[in-house]
Copies of this chain bind each other. A is one copy, B any other.
Amino acid sequence: MREPVGQPGRRVTLNDVAAEAGVSRALASIVMRGAPGASDTTRERVQAVARGLGYRPDSRARLLRSSRTRLLGVTFTLAESFHGEVVEAVYAATENAGLEVALSAVSPQRPESRAVESLLDLGVEALLMISPSTGAEALAAYAQRLPVVTLLSPAPVVGTDQVRTDDAAGVRAAVEHLVELGHREIVHVDGGGAVSAQERSTAYREAMTARGLARHIRVLRGGAGEEDGLRAAAELMGGTLPDAVVVFNDRSALGVLEALRRAGISVPGDVSLTGFDDSQLSRLSHVQLTTVSQQAPLLAESAVAGAAARLENREPGGLVHPPRLIVRATTGPVRTDPATGPAISRS
């Protein structure tokens, strides 16, 4: 198998293709990017030559010259596995939208500002920031220079488009799922000061009220981590056990699950449990957590479409998405005989 490139150092340029095909560089350019202005016969000929020579356009040159770089800058946090899922979906979505992706990671050692700057230096045409940590002012400043779409952003910022999950709908779905299963005493372990903790907690109250369970409303202080769940579960087991627990997120739910099981309480035999995020954790075979999925593909698709819309001076739409309840093995019918209660039964 011979390499198409003859010389090791030399790279095949558009000039080479044009010369070989006997046309001008400009025409070759037209053909390569599928622009109108070339006959079908030459189009085919040039393409054949390009293929034969193993030509690949140099994106640096392309980006430099054209104002429409079709390059979408994406910032994400390495440690967040959900960001990974979104990025994956962004790649897929950009393919259809005819955009290219430039990734820039955020980490404790690499602030978001640096990530954004490197993208701007690369000449991205729009910015897609996943869970931005940048302050509203700085974000607004970016938005003045180019379209900015945020995903999982804590708060709205003028000039940016916000793609997000309908948190309330997610919590509502979880509560209703539990009610359908016959549960009445449904407790909420909240997210403490975490992002969107407020929204989810409010949604819990509303969903309970809507189902006529207002008198069963009970919110425990939780948090975003596993330890918060462990702590909340300890508090929970201090009094009488509820039918079910709706937890702020998966990590915390994992803590609750562990504490309950360690105390000999069966999940879902005695208590049902739901999380939020559909993280890797929730899929572990001994966990199988029922949870609310922020549908990464949907969010990504929508964010990319939003950026594309802005680039064409259109108004993007459909930026809030309903999540999906993933029913696994931590929710089940309410226990039928309260007398044999939680203290005795074993998983």
Q: A64-B58, A145-B8, A255-B286 are in contact. Are A109 and B87 (CB under 8 A)?
A: no
Report if A20 contacts B (CB, 8 A): no
A118 sits at the interface (CB 8 A): yes
A337: interface (CB < 8 Å)? no
CB distance from A221 to the nearest CB of B (A): 17
A144 contacts partner chain B, Cβ-Cβ < 8 Å = yes
A285 within 8 A of B: yes
Can you tell how many copies of this chain the complex includes?
2
A81 in the interface (beta carbon within 8 A): yes
Q: Please give me the residue from chain B that is nearest to A122 by CB atom.
A: B59
Cβ–Cβ contact A123 & B78, under 8 A: no
A105-B103, A286-B255 known; A121+B88 contact, CB < 8 A: no
**CB-based contact B226/A285 at 8 Å:** yes
Question: A271 to chain B: closest CB distance in Å?
Answer: 17
Task: Indicate if the CB atoms of A230 and B122 lie closer than 8 Å.
Answer: no
A304 to chain B minimum Cβ distance, whole angstroms, is: 14
B residues near A105, Cβ cutoff 8 Å: 87-88, 91, 103
Minimum distance in angstroms from A85 CB to a CB of chain B:
7
CA distance A258 to B257 in the complex (A): 13
> Distance in Å from the Cβ of A236 to the closest Cβ of chain B?
16
Q: How large is the interface on A (under 10, 10 to 19, 20 to 34, 35 or more residues)?
A: 35 or more
B-contacting residues, A245-294, CB 8 Å: 254-255, 258-259, 262, 284-286
Contact A60 B64 (CB under 8 A): yes
Taking a contact as CB atoms under 8 Å apart, the answer to whether B230 and A286 are in contact is yes
Q: CB-CB < 8 A to A255: which residues of B?
A: 285-286
Interface residues of A in 97-128 (CB under 8 A from B): 100, 102-105, 107-110, 117-118, 120-123
Q: B107, A91: Cβ atoms under 8 Å?
A: yes
Q: Give the residues in chain B near A81, CB-CB below 8 Å.
A: 79, 81
Whole-angstrom distance between the Cβ of A104 and the nearest chain B Cβ: 7
- Are A103 and B103 in contact (CB-based, < 8 A)? yes
CA distance A259 to B254 in the complex (A): 17
Give, as a whole number of angstroms, the nearest-CB distance from A49 to chain B. 19
The answer to whether B141 touches A56 (Cβ under 8 A) is: no
Residues of B within 8 A of A100 (CB): 118
List 3 tightest A-B contacts by C-beta distance, closest first.
A78-B84, A103-B103, A258-B286
Q: 16 A-B residue contacts at CB 8 Å?
A: A3-B141, A8-B144, A8-B145, A56-B117, A56-B121, A57-B121, A59-B118, A60-B60, A60-B123, A61-B64, A79-B85, A88-B109, A91-B110, A103-B104, A230-B285, A258-B286
